[in-house]
Every structure is written in C-alpha cells, then in structure tokens.
Chains A and B, each alone.
Chain A
Amino acid sequence: MVVVDWIAPLIVVAYVIAAVGVWLGLWADGWGEITGVMWAAPSTDHWLGTNRLGQDILLRAVAATATAFEIGLLVALASSMVGGLLGAVAGLFNGSRLDELILWLKGTIDAIPFYLFVAAVAFALQGHAMAMHLAMIVVFWTTTARVVRAETIRLGQSGFIEAARAGGSTHARVIVRHLLPNLAHVLLVQATLVFVAAIKAEVVLSFLGIGVQDSISWGLMLAEAGQDIMAGQYMNFLAATLFLFGLVMAGSLLADRMQIRLDPRTRNQWRTQIQ
C-alpha cells in the first residue's frame, strides 16, 4: 500500500503532462492526419502502429488524454459546484420546502435511466459538442449533493453552525466561512470520483455514438477497435484500453487515498473506509 501512495499521484501527473502538452500544441496535434498505410504494424515511425485510415494510434491516444481531462475536469468542477451548493443549502434548511424541492429534483433525475437521459439531451441539443458534458453534469451533481447534504446535517447537529448564526453571521457567510472549509475534503473526494466516472461514461457514450463529436477520445478509439478486431487488428483496442485503464485506476486509488488522508475521522485509521 505504501507503493500505491506515491505511484497513483505519479501516474496522474504523467497524464496531466500529456494533456497539458496537447493543449499547448506541443504534441499530438496531428492526430487527424493520415501519415501511414492502413493498419501498419508498430514501428519506429508509429510506435503503436496505425489505424484503418493510416493515422498514428499513439498520437490519437495521447490527444484523447486531453479530451478525457477536458470532460473529467469540466464535469467534476461543475457538478461539485452545483452539487455542493444545492447539497449545502438542502442540509442547512433541512426539512424546509427548499430542501424538499432539491430532494425532488435529485430524485427525479435519479429516476431517469442514465443513458436514456444523455441520449435525449444529445438529441435535444442537436448533436452540440457540449451536449454530453451538460447531460453528465445534470446527472452527476445528485451524488455530490447527497453526500454534502448528509455531511452538512451532521455538522449542523454538532452545533457550531448555530453558534455562528447566533454570532450574527448571514446564511451566505455561514456557508462560505464555516461550512465550505469543513466540506472541502468531501467535495475533493467526490470531485475525483466524478472525474473518474465522467471519463468512464464518456467511453460508453462515444462507443454508442452519442458522445464526443468533433474530437478524438478513447471511446471513439474503442468503437473503431470493435470493427478492427475482426480483421485481426488489436492495436487500437490495446492502446485505448491501457490509456483509459491507467487513468481510471490511478484516479480511483487517488480518491481512496484522499478520502483516508483528508477525512478527519479516519485520518489515523486507514482501515475504516466508511463515510
């Protein structure tokens, strides 16, 4: 477990570097260019070979890292913000009409099958590039909200919010000054989990053809790979699988570590991984 402690952050850092490089245009710019023959075997020119069109598979996998981060970060940030805010408000006014409304909204979204919902949003936005992101944010904030709400209620019972209120703080001030610092660890862990979930969901959605539109992603590569396999070509599959697996695994481990390290209740006893 000690090894895991530093290896997971290291892997994540490597992915971040890969993604930042793509954003800065340092590498993998030419993921769409046709630079080789159809299904070339791995060589010094193409380390992981080429796909059906003769595009470099490694380049595509690296470029897809940036796509994965764009989706993961955007969805994680947005759903943490929405979920954190609504969860905190619901928790603070536990039992009020507002709480009921938020719970109703959460229940409604939870009750619609995920893929059906995303597909419907994708259609509604006429294949807009951000349709998938939006759909994921709308779906993923509910988990964060539930966790934050529960945590807020727990904090509320401990009495310090009442103390702050008694000291004359406004609601907004209570949330910003008192609640948020105490919720930070929950939000961070939750955001990491959403980050991982969003990347995994992207793969499935792109595979189904309702995900990433004007870019390259591991899901699209896997969709291509599904066709390549019959022709006995496995490089697309292997590349996308390894890249995806590495990031998701490192992300999950990181979330675990953070949960144990940051949660004041479990800081000293790593065994109990219960919320």
Chain B
Amino acid sequence: MAIDNTGICRSCQVEYCGAALVICRIFLQAGQERVNNAVVPARPLPLIFPCTMENPMSFARTASAVVTALLLCVACERSGGNGEAPVVYRHAIDGIPASLDPAHAANIYSATLVVNLYDTLFRYRYLSRPYELTPNLAATMPDVSDDGLVWTIELRENVRFADDPAFPRGRGRAVTAGDVVYSLGRHFDPATRSQGAWLWRGKIVGLEEWIEAGANPDRRIAGLHAVDNQTLVIELTAPFPQLAHTLAMALSAVVPREAVEYYGREFGVRPVGSGPFILERFDESRAVLERNPDFDRGALDLAAEGLDPQRHAELGLEPLNGRTYPFIDRLEVHFITEPTSRWTSFVAGEVDNVMVPPEKSGQLLASRDPLRFRPDIERQYHTLAEPEAGFVFYGFNMANEAIGHHPDEDIDRANRALRCAMREGFDWQERNHTFYHGLGQVFPGVIPPFLDAFDPSLDASSTDHDPQRAQRRLQAHDWSPETLPRLTYGLEASVHQRQMFEQFRARMQTIGIPNERLRHRAFASFGDFSRAITGGELDLFLIGWTMAWPDAQYALQMFYGPNAAPGANSFNYSNPEFDRLFERAARLEAGEERAALYRQLNEMVINDCVHIGSLSRTRLHLWHRHVHMLPDREMLGGHFLRFVGIGAAP
C-alpha cells in the first residue's frame, strides 16, 4: 500500500508546486468551498464552453494548461500538508445514520455516532464478555430498592455539554439530573417522533398522566425527577430489571434542552452533547468528529474494562492502559453500504477497518471450523470473529386463519402441521453456506447462543432439513397442491433478499408446495415492508432482530400477545399461557428461575411452529496493524471508539 497509513503528509514542498496549486484552486474552488457548506456554482462550464465554440486553438491551450495543472496538483498534494499531524482514526460502517438525534438512534448506525457525541448513564465494559454494565455519565451503578421499584442514580460531577451557540454566550454548561429527566421525557412529546418511547411507556409512575397533560417539560413527572443536580430518582409501576440496560442505549442519551429548542427540527443534524467527540461535518458519505476538549473521564483502566491478557494479547492494548482517553484527535466514520466498496476502501487504506463481506470471507479463511484466518492475513491485519448480537429467522403471520391460529381445533392443528412442514422443508445449512459462507450459527428457537439463558442441550431437530418428514406431515393433514393456501412472502427489494426467496421457494417445491402457491411481494422501502406486516398483508417474512440488551427477554417480547402488530409481535402470536409466563419472567432479576422460564417460553415458540429459525451471523472484522482496539459493535454500539489507539505496529 503506497498510501501513508495515518493518511497525513508530513513534509511540505509548497514552493515546488505553489504555482500549480493556484491554478487548481481557481479551477476547483467549488470543491474547496463545499467544506464550508457554501453554495457554489459549477465553474468549469463557463470556463471551457466559450473556447470550444469560438476558438479551437485557445480551447486546446486552456485544456492542456488545466490538465498540466491538475497533474501537478496530484503530485503536490501527495507530498504536501502542514504542521502537527493530528491522530486520526477512520472507521467504516455498513449503513448511513439518518439522524443524530438520540431519540431516533434506534439502529446501530445512528447509535455508533450518538454514543460518541452524547453520554448515556451507563455503558458496557469494553472487553468483558458476557456483557457487563458499568457507569458512564452516572457516578456509580444504580441504587435499587428491595422491591425493585425505586431507582436512585447519582451523576458524575464536572461533566459539561460542549460549547455551542445554543447556550448563553456559546459556552456549554454542566450536565445535571434535570437534563436526564428532560431527555427521557421528550420521547413522549409527539413532535420528537421518538423511536424509543416504547422502552419506558407504562413503566414509570405518573408518566401516562404527564403525557395526557401535554408532556410539558416544565411540569413534574411523579416517578421521574431530579432530587438535586446530581441525583435522579425513577419510580416504577412494576419491577423492570432491564431499566439499567435501556439507560445504556443510545436512545437514552442525555441532551440539553437549550439545543433542542434552539435548533428545532434541525437538532438531528446539529448534535450538542457531552460525549468524547464533537461533530465537525456530516453528510451521506461520512461524519467527521473532533475530540471534545472538555471531555474527561480519567484514565483507561484495562483491568476494570475486563482485559483478559491471553484473549486480548494480540490486540496491543496494554500501552494505552493508564492514559486519558480518547486517544485520537479526529474520528472519521465512513458510511459504505456496498460490500465491494467497503472491502476495496479498506485494502486501499482509505479506511482503517472493515466488517468483511461474506463473499470475501472464503478468500481470507484457512479453515471454517475452527474458524481461522489465513496466516498472511493474520500477519498483515488484526482479526476478530464474533457472533452478532442478534439473529435472522422467518416468521408466520399467525393472525391469518389460513395458516395461523384458527378457532376450530382441527384446522388449527392442520395449520400448525403446514407451518412445521415448511420449517422442516427449509434448509438452514444451505442458507448458511450460500449467504453466510457457512459461518453462521444455526440454533433452535429465539435465544441465541451468546446469552446466559441459551440451553445447549435443547433439542435442535427443529432446525433440521427433513423433506421426507415434511411431506409425511402434509399428507397426514390432507394438504395437497389444491388445498394449500396461497401464501405471500414479503421481502425488502435487495439482491440477497430476492435470492433468498428463490432459494426458499425451491425448497418448498421439493416438499410439494408449488411455486404458484408462494408468491412474493418486494418492498423498495423498509417502511412499506413494515406497513404491510402491520396490515397483515404478508403471511411469511424474513426478519432480522438485533438485541438491544443481553437478555432473552428482548427476543421473547416478539411473541408476547399485547405487543401484536404494529408492535414487536409482528407474527400476532397469541398464547395466553405464553403471555402469563412472560409477565412473570419480566419482573424477575437475573437468575436460575428466570432462565428456566425463558427456556420454557422458547420451547413454546418452537412447538407452535411460529417461526423458522434461527441463525446468528458471525462477523469477521479486520483492521490495520497500527490501530489498537476491539471493534465489537454488538451491544457496545460505538462506545469502543473512545478507546481506539493509533500507533506504530507492535
């Protein structure tokens, strides 16, 4: 790679190419001014057109002058540059954040930026696995009353919002418990268009009354208030052990009311927070963040973050221990949706890390089981293979009486047989092989292996491909091509989704479900896809579910009756027994009893054939040798970015 690893030129030879630069700058002024967000007309047009038409000779001369100048510029910029080199880390992610307002940060892309611009009360430890919460903006872990209903949270002192014109005299102020109250409360103002209100709705004392009365931030919420500048009290209507997890999510990040009111609708692109970085620029291709000079969380304590000298030996983290973070001056986050581009940008050194596209993984691995990278790849890059904190699966619409719940017991049983047969007809190993390069983990039910509640001894036959049994099942319940219902398979229009449908259809054909009984509907936007699910227009659809906290409750809520569409229960699964046990488990603290209940719930989902699943993808990460970090984005979102160190390869 010819490009300097840090991307910064150290020597400057201004005299040599100064003249060329002047010409270039005039020619390309628009490109320069764009940085300042100025509207600039395209200059090249008037420059060249008149010559083309009137005078061929002057056109040729102008053209050759421009070309020469541009070539000189290239030569010069490669070697040019000025002053002290800031430490830059260029991070690539595979999607584009739509908004940087914490209230909209429901996906990993927004969350990656939001947790670096704002503070959440808690975060997960950098290196500990399984995931463990640790205080962030809070000074300590919460103090919870014995009945689990009253939570008291102390805030860290001397945390300031970054300077911004939204504040009087442009100077940021201290973050208080009142800001936390405001930040949570604004989720319930319709104008916020919150994506996180569901996390706390119905769970906090007096919240509903406060919303009824107009969600006025000047009025007090009975169960959510600041005792003093540093102390926050939350009173719950019922025990909610997952509350601490919700307060580590980007959705709960703390925002200053001044900025929300000052920027109005534009708050989503003008973030003002107390996080380790400040936004410098943001468009659809990248965000550039500068270090927040006011941010001070002391030194990195690797032991407290869960360093395992053996497991993390290769990462080269030790030199960072005891130093004040963040360690970089500038954080660039590049949004690269196309897998090909992501890979080529990484290899060319334009970005420092890559989440390897499955298409590429075959060329990087020496063996799949156990998973090992090729030796030359290991020499050249840092590597990481980790399961995603989520999974993909097919869900049925149980509200459709042709395939789901039915008041008539016989039909209900026959419908279940059809669903189970489709599950047996589907081949997860093939799916894993063709789309995830055989690196995914196939598991029964909806409790993925990375969770405590996962039961390794659970019967895995529900994930087996068994077309004979499927055919027997269909025959036993008199399902024939004539009696089979017409099913609609919903998908988001993408190449992979369409191919997955063709694979699914081909498998169903082998168990006797003809192509014309399985038609598909493609949706160009996620919004329309989810509207169709909500409207009950789809009988079968592929869903990816990302865990927001490391607790099976987050997955099992997808089958809880009261969460029916438009809620998380897109399948409209309705089982009173399930609902009863789910409600019981929801109040329990982590422990054996709760894990046992979770497993019971999981088996109910499997036995009723509500879903076909599941598979957890394995993420392969590579990053350049001079970057020292553990880029685990699952659960952590972007929290790890504050601990990224840059230096010579060890």
Contacts and interface: CB of A to CB of B under 8 A. Distances in A.
A and B touch in the complex (CB under 8 A): yes
Interface of A: 32-34, 38, 52-55, 119, 122-123, 126-127, 209-210, 213-214, 220, 223-224, 226-232
A227 B495 contact: yes
From B363, B499, B515, name the one whose CB has the most chain A CB atoms within 10 angstroms.
B499
B357 interface: yes
Interface string B347-361: 000000000010110
B340 interface: yes
A122 B522 CA distance: 11
9 contacts: A122-B524, A123-B524, A127-B521, A210-B493, A213-B522, A214-B519, A223-B495, A230-B339, A232-B363
Given A226-B340, A230-B340, A231-B360, A209 B522 contact: yes
B502 interface: yes
A210 B363 CA distance: 32
A32 B343 contact: no
A53 B340 contact: no
Contacts of A209: 493-495, 522, 524
Contacts of A122: 524
A218 to B, nearest CB: 14
B368 interface: no
Secondary structure of the A side of the interface?
A: loop
A226 B495 contact: yes
Contacts of B498: 220
Contact of A230 (B359, B520, B522, B524): B359
B434 A53 contact: yes
A226 B523 CA distance: 20
B359 A228 contact: yes
B288 interface: no
Interface of B: 339-340, 343, 357, 359-360, 362-363, 433-435, 493-496, 498-499, 502-503, 505-506, 509, 515, 519-525, 528
A126 B499 CA distance: 21
Nearest to A227: B495
Contact of A231 (B359, B519, B525): B359
B394 to A, nearest CB: 17
A179 B318 CA distance: 87
Q: Decide if the interface of chain B is mainly helix, strand, loop or mixed.
A: helix
A210 B503 contact: no
Given A52-B434, A119-B524, A127-B524, A32 B357 contact: no
A66 to B, nearest CB: 17
A151 to B, nearest CB: 31
B531 to A, nearest CB: 10
Given A32-B505, A227-B340, 13 more contacts: A33-B509, A34-B506, A38-B433, A52-B434, A53-B503, A123-B528, A127-B493, A127-B523, A213-B520, A214-B520, A227-B495, A231-B359, A231-B360
B103 to A, nearest CB: 27
Contact of B496 (A54, A55, A227): A227
A38 B499 contact: no
Nearest to B338: A226
Nearest to A231: B359
A231 B339 contact: no
Given A210-B524, A220-B498, A230 B503 contact: no
Contact of B515 (A32, A127, A213, A228): A32
A57 to B, nearest CB: 13
Contacts of A123: 524-525, 528
The 4 closest A-B pairs by CB, nearest first: A209-B493, A231-B359, A230-B359, A34-B506
A127 B496 CA distance: 18
Given A53-B506, A209-B522, A231-B362, A224 B499 contact: yes
A249 to B, nearest CB: 26
Nearest to B525: A123
Contact of A53 (B499, B523, B525): B499
Contacts of B524: 119, 122-123, 127, 209-210
Contacts of A119: 524
Contacts of B519: 214
A232 B359 CA distance: 9
Contacts of B363: 231-232
Contacts of B506: 32-34, 53
Given A32-B506, A34-B506, A214-B519, A52 B499 contact: yes
Contact of A227 (B339, B505, B522): B339
Nearest to A233: B359
B439 to A, nearest CB: 14
A224 B525 CA distance: 19
A153 B362 CA distance: 65
B643 to A, nearest CB: 31
A230 B434 contact: no
Nearest to B358: A231
A55 to B, nearest CB: 7
B523 A230 contact: no
A127 B522 contact: yes
A55 B502 contact: yes
Contacts of B362: 231
A148 to B, nearest CB: 33
B94 to A, nearest CB: 14
B356 to A, nearest CB: 10
Residue with the highest number of chain A CB atoms closer than 10 Å, among B357, B434, B523 = B434
A227 B359 CA distance: 8
A255 B515 CA distance: 39
A121 B108 CA distance: 32
Contacts of B521: 127
A18 B528 CA distance: 37
Contacts of A214: 519-520
A36 to B, nearest CB: 12
Contacts of B494: 209
A209 B337 CA distance: 15
A126 to B, nearest CB: 8
B517 to A, nearest CB: 13
A220 B501 CA distance: 14
A38 B506 CA distance: 14
A50 to B, nearest CB: 11
A213 B488 CA distance: 14
